[in-house]
Amino acid sequence: MYTQENRIENEEGLSHPEKRNIAYIICNILVLLLYSIYVFRKYQQGEINLAEDLSFWGLTILIFVAISVVVRIVIEILLNIINAIVTRKEEDLSFTDERDKLIELKAIKISEVVVGIGFLLSMISLVVKMPPFVMINVIFFSLFIGDIIGSVAQLFYYRRGF
């Protein structure tokens, strides 16, 4: 339940899950931006054939997913270190109560809907005879956008109180 103690804590600053979600949103936006710039530059330089070079798409997406995972791990470590320095006390930041679990479940549901819509759009792109790279990119972007929207939903639910 959203108690007076939680309200006071949130008025003073952001909770750890809120800070983590903001960091994840920034991370995902940066990864999508870097991916877009990388692919656009490769295309401008004529280094890839968009329609036929599926190995390029597979390798590029695997690299950027790996980058995203590493950045998330680094963000989590840095947030824990910064929190320990600022608060000067050891807290169990992995502690989650029923409210946290419900908020996470609602956000996951929203995220999965976005990813599902992206998957359907990717299949539609194949049905209308678009090149396979369109399908690959729609799936890739829907995964990251779904994660961004899920993180925004978690922020919303934490701020709202449930």
Sequential pLDDT tens for the chain (162 residues): 444 444 334 445 777 788 889 999 999 999 999 999 999 998 888 888 776 788 888 999 999 999 999 999 998 888 888 878 887 766 665 667 788 889 899 999 999 999 999 999 999 999 999 988 899 999 999 999 999 999 999 999 988 876
Residue 6 confidence (pLDDT): 44
Residue 3 domain-assigned (yes or no): no
Residue 18 domain-assigned (yes or no): yes
Residue 148 confidence (pLDDT): 95
Residue 54 domain-assigned (yes or no): yes
Residue 6 domain-assigned (yes or no): no
DSSP-H helix ranges across 13-131: 16-44, 54-87, 98-127
Residue 4 domain-assigned (yes or no): no
**Domain span at 117:** 14-160
d(CA 138, CA 77): 31
Residue 139 confidence (pLDDT): 95
Q: Which helix (H) or strand (E) holds 5?
A: helix 4-12
Structure tokens at 105: 């479940």
Residue 25 domain-assigned (yes or no): yes
Place of tokens 């690959």: 136
Q: pTM higher than 0.85, yes or no?
A: no
d(CA 37, CA 42): 9
Residue 92 confidence (pLDDT): 61
Domain count, the chain: 1
Residue 79 confidence (pLDDT): 84
Residue 37 domain-assigned (yes or no): yes
Residue 146 domain-assigned (yes or no): yes
